[in-house]
Amino acid sequence: MDKSVRTFPWPTYDKGNVFVDDEDLGAPRQALANRLYFRYDYRAYNDTETGRFEAALRRYLGVPHALAVSSGTAAIALGLMSLELEPGALVACPGFTFAATPSAILLAGGRPLLIECDHNLHFDVADLERKMSPAVRAIVVVHMRGFASDMPAILAVANKWKIPVVEDAVPSLGLVVGGKHTGTFGDAGAFSTQSDKSLNTGEGGFLVCRDATQFAKAVVLSGAYEGRFKRHFAGPPPEICDLDYPLFSFRMDEIRAALAHAEMARLPRRLEILRSNYDYVVDQIADLERISVRQPVIPGSYLGDSLIFRLPHDSNDHVVQVAAALCSEGVDARALASANDPNVRCFWNWRFLFRGKSPAEIRALLPATTQHLSQAVDIPMSPTLTRADCDDLIRAIRKVMQRRASSHADLAPRSADVVETAEVK
């Protein structure tokens, strides 16, 4: 029997392959020892772990306001809630994103308006323009799988219609485009510190805002009651009454904030590793004609934590077989649109939005996105990957594609050596 490229697991966060150093663990251990886990205790804002983390975020991202919260989903929802949109307002978002994006829109009281993605799986600005109307009250743009969306074009549409933009930068912390971080182009930006993100606290996230009043509302909504929102302002706070807003208890705790703050020291190194490994792999498979590697909207505008390529000349069944064959070679690979995989990054699996509709009826709502996702294979690239791991990935892709080109043989897994695919965003 043909020997697999590798027989040991592909490194992913859910197997413990995370970019967390022993030195990073000192801060949360100290926070535990302090026995002060609530961010709004007797201490001054600048003496809390969350306060120090938020200050570091402001410096790193170059923003005036940052709020540590319980998740990226909470951050998106707070970004929208703080805009005080009317109940049921339409909020545009892409059809290729994690299910948390439309879920956050629902949580904020809006209704998702799904927008097509282009062949590189980017937010399709032309489709956004076609679907715009006075009923659309906001846009949530997603920098999905670490690739920046076309912010100048999206902001031009938003400015034309005079509506706000919230960036779901959950999968793109650290990505800089034109000297500016993703998440800082729009009116608000939402980030995650979940386990496979640039900062890893297990669960968590944060929101950044430009406008002080919007930020103050978000702070109150996150759970800063009885005037505690004022602690977030060095000078006079905006004139809002916190009793006018509900409290959703989306606060980050001190332990997670301590860990996230400690990890920021090594964030540049993590980003450097991701980009170096990604560029190396892409360069080594560039000659494979049947593969179309996802291209950024501007050169270099990607993190490199996920390799996505399309097989534009293949049926979805063949794409599924290619992904399965890569798994049998010891590389976690996922056909994004496999019928046997309830991948919540594919809009037709968001059944909570489409009560009573079949998957086929839902797919027909965004035909271009359906087609592009049906051709796509997604491979996670952890920052713990070594150059040897990258070489294994290159060999596996070349081997599978060469076998397909030479014989069109069945590419289904050959034995029980198939490595379980990791859930990644």
Token pair of 74 as six digits: 């909470």
Q: Name the residue type at position 406.
A: S
Token pair of 370 as six digits: 């359906």
Count other C-beta atoms under 10 Å from residue 351's C-beta: 14
**DSSP secondary structure string, 225-259?**
TTTGGGGG-SSPPPS--GGGS-----BPPHHHHHH
Report yes or no: 392 and 285 within 8 Å, Cβ to Cβ.
no
Dist CA 330 CA 74 (whole Å): 35
Dist CA 121 CA 375 (whole Å): 11
Q: What are phi and psi of 286, to 5 degrees?
A: -65, -25
Dist CA 221 CA 219 (whole Å): 5
As separate numbers, helices (DSSP H) first and strands (DSSP E) second, the chain gives 13, 13
User: Environment class of residue 290 by beta-carbon count within 10 Å: exposed (0-12), middle (13-18) or buried (19+)?
Assistant: middle
Q: Which of 197, 230, 399, 425 is catalytic?
A: 197
Which residues pair with residue 96 across a beta bridge? 346
Dist CA 366 CA 347 (whole Å): 9
Dist CA 97 CA 108 (whole Å): 17
Report yes or no: 178 and 196 within 8 Å, Cβ to Cβ.
no
Tell me how far the alpha carbon of residue 17 is from its chain's centroid.
18
Dist CA 129 CA 89 (whole Å): 17
Is position 197 annotated as part of the catalytic site? yes
Vertex 380 angle, CA 121 and 58, to 5°: 80
- The torsion of the CA quartet 223, 226, 229, 231, rounded to 10 degrees, works out to -130
C-alpha torsion sign, points 160, 163, 164, 169: negative
Dist CA 212 CA 217 (whole Å): 9
Strand 205-209, strand 292-293: pairing = unpaired
Catalytic residues: 197
